Amino acid sequence: MSMVRSSRLAALAWLLAAMLLSGCDALEAQLQAALTPTATPRPVVAASTPQVAQVPSAPAAPTSTAVVQASLPQAQSGAPAAQEGAALSEYERIVNQVYERNINAVVNLSYGGGTGSGFVIDRDGHIVTNNHVVENMPEINITFADGSRANGELLGTFPEGDIAVVRASRLPNDLTPVELGDSSALRVGQIVIAIGSPLGLQQTVTSGIVSALNRSIEDLGVSDPDSSLHGLIQTDAAINPGNSGGPLFDGQGRVVGMNTLIASPNQGNIGLGFAVPVNRIKRVAPQLISQGFYQRPVMGITIRPIIPELAEALNLPTTSGVMIEDVAPGGPAEQAGLRGATKGVRLPSGEVYPTNGDIIVAINEHPIRTIGDLRNVLETETDAGDTITVTFVREGRQMQTQLTLGGSR
């Protein structure tokens, strides 16, 4: 138990020391306060590591970045070197084409010392970004890649999913909005490219690969029953404070995610970045534009995770899925015939764990192993009012029912 507890505390510290990437002073202060130990922390001494120069405070919305070029030694002639050069050239070509195609649609959002990124999704001036980038900005200043500026109006937010939509007062004439891709088609190992304004340095491009898929905030040791930060894309593309709200592109130049957080012990990039999948953005953004809020699809249930060790000890019929602890009277689940638990056992912690509720194992044939899986499928694949197929286990038998989703703000 001590090892598990230590690993979870470490993961929590990593995540919350991490980011929510915007550089928002109020958010950082809140996260730091949550993690401040009672004893005075010892200074951290880096041994045998390169020095990192301190970056002076930059203007809220810098419009250009100086680039220092260094001469690279030429490779010796020979077949292996030529093949390596050809491979590098192809990779560089992909990154450059994605950059050239999309740079004008990536913007900097700022007010005072707070800065973040966003991307234009249509010619009506709608910009998608993170909620934590703009939620505390009394005014939103937008800077485009050509250096021109506009004012921004916050149209709507979905705080639990860290998604917001801003409308620009004007767009440059030559700006082409980004193309939204399909995050469900992503595969581990694919090339991805991030563009944004880390530390306010606009038009910064970094690249890497999809390191993992379907990550959850719970994987990083944080349990939030209201969070929609599930189904996240993990990437090793360099992401730093200020990249928040910026797009993550695939190799064809289509947006597949929105850079949202990093896991790091020092608030800097160590190759653990996470992006909200674009398929969720495609469902949330239209509602934020039309009505200012997102109506989350709900089943009308209270659920508990299936813990494999506990499931085996209690002889439950499956070691994965989510158990229905309770159903809302008259809600979608009750109307669909789903049942909550009527029995439970008291754990050594004093908590009562349900034992005989229906166990959901799939939604529309998407496997449900965890609570994160359930929330991810509902908010990425469905809308309130949709009818879904719920596969569940009751008394050892697998069954199915049709359920029409309700909606909740």
Active-site residue list? 132, 162, 244
- Full 3-state SS string of 92-153: HHHHHHHHHHHHHHEEEEEECCEEEEEEECCCCCEEEECHHHHCCCCCEEEECCCCCEEEEE
CB atoms within 10 A of CB 51: 6
Chain Cα centroid distance, residue 289: 20
CA atoms within 13 A on the CB side of 218: 16
Residues facing residue 304 across a β-bridge = 323
- Look at phi and psi of residue 93 and say left if phi exceeds 0, alpha if psi is from -120 to 50, else beta: alpha
Q: What is the C-alpha separation between 339 and 360, in angstroms, rounded?
A: 11
State the alpha helices, DSSP H only, in 293-406.
308-313, 332-335, 371-381
Identify the H or E element spanning 206.
Answer: strand 204-215
Residues facing residue 352 across a β-bridge = 346
For 41-99, give the DSSP string.
Answer: PPPP---S----PPPPPPPSS---------PPPPPPSSHHHHHHHHHHHHHHHHHHHHH
Residue 100's contacts (CB-CB under 8 Å, 6 or more residues apart) are none
Residue 158's contacts (CB-CB under 8 Å, 6 or more residues apart) are 131, 164, 228, 284, 288, 293, 294
Q: What is the C-alpha separation between 272 and 238, in angstroms, rounded?
A: 8
Task: Report CA-CA distances (Å) from 248 to 181, 212, 219, 290, 402.
Answer: 10, 14, 21, 25, 36
Judge whether 216 and 231 are in contact, CB under 8 Å.
Answer: yes
